[in-house]
Amino acid sequence: MITVTGATGNVGRPLVQALVEAGEEVTAVSRTASRAPEGVRFHRADLTEPRRLAPALEGSDALFMLTSADFMAGGDLGEVMAVARTAGVKRVVLLSSQGVASGRHPSSMEDAVRQSGLEWTVLRPGNFASNALQWADSVRDRREVAAPFGDVALPAVDPADIAAVAALALRRPGHGGEVYTLTGPEPVSPRQQAAAIGDALAEPVRFVEEARDRARARMLGFMPGPVVEATLDVLGAPSAAERAVSPDVERLLGRPPRTFADWAARHVTAFK
Ligand SMILES: NC(=O)c1ccc[n+]([C@@H]2O[C@H](COP(=O)([O-])OP(=O)(O)OC[C@H]3O[C@@H](n4cnc5c(N)ncnc54)[C@H](OP(=O)(O)O)[C@@H]3O)[C@@H](O)[C@H]2O)c1
């Protein structure tokens, strides 16, 4: 059995699907039962109340750990790890962030997993391709993308590739103590992302450069303040490491990472 937290999200949903397709038994965890993935056991729990997670971990050998912004604000991952260890979990795969390597995000979540006594693997993805979903309304309404730093390119990673690497590390030995940096195959700027969404729609999508202050005000609607600042810093002035394509997805999966155009084509209905 493998327990997947964040099971209804951008990474969790394809991860549950990949594990089921590989013949694994899965327990999916999130706070909202109405969005539960079909065909697997579902356990409703809030990660900020670790003891309530215990039933979701019964019989599980491995745990996929997602730490959301909500969780960062009020949770204690050390407690979650203690509950997992008591339940008999052997292996944990943490969805962390490349921002930890660059010092933009705190390392406390990774520290808790490293100190858990479980076999651990840390995934550090860069900017997600699915962040483009924040443009879904404006693309639907007026075929427009407004974003800051329109020509700064980052190698956006497809959450389905993060899920594929997570599935590998959850199912097979040999990934203990490893930290994987996960990116897409090439840097792609917001302006190029808007064009790729237009290609997927077979209709032009206009790009509008957004001022940093305006972007900050918009992002504060769905992210905590410190995360907004760190995100704007990466988007506007990425380090060489944040602009670089990591070899890890291809090395682990034996195929190149998926492109942003591929992500846009698979998610085109969100923009229609
Ligand atoms: N976006 C990026 O560019 C980026 C880059 C690097 C790293 N990351 C990391 O990736 C993670 C986000 O992954 P994602 O995009 O797959 O997330 P997502 O799509 O926002 O989904 C979050 C999932 O976690 C669940 N969840 C949220 N808060 C919870 C809580 N307190 N207790 C239990 N479940 C909770 C949600 O379901 P319910 O709401 O129903 O509970 C949902 O299943 C974050 O840790 C972020 O730091 C993101």
Scan for tokens 């840390």, then name that residue. Answer: 122
Query: Which CATH architecture fits 2-271?
Result: 3-Layer(aba) Sandwich (3.40)
How far apart are the C-alpha atoms of 15 and 226, rounded to whole Å?
Answer: 28
Which DSSP helix (H) or strand (E) runs through 248? Answer: helix 248-253
* pLDDT, tens only, 206-261: 999 999 999 999 999 988 888 899 899 999 999 999 999 999 999 999 999 999 99
Around ligand 1, the residues with Cβ closer than 6 Å are 6-12, 30-32, 35, 46-48, 66-68, 70-71, 95, 97, 125, 127-128, 130-131, 159
* pLDDT, tens only, 131-188: 999 999 999 999 999 999 999 999 999 999 999 999 999 999 999 999 999 999 999 9
How far apart are the C-alpha atoms of 56 and 153, rounded to whole Å?
Answer: 40
Q: Closest ligand 1 atom, CA of 35?
A: 40
* pLDDT, tens only, 14-58: 999 999 999 999 999 999 999 999 999 999 999 989 989 999 999
Is pLDDT of 76 > 90?
no
Q: Which amino acid is at 192?
A: Q
Judged by DSSP in three states, 250 sits in helix
Angle between helices 12-21 and 159-171 (to 10 degrees): 50
How far apart are the C-alpha atoms of 265 and 42, rounded to whole Å?
Answer: 29
How far apart are the C-alpha atoms of 192 and 183, rounded to whole Å?
Answer: 17
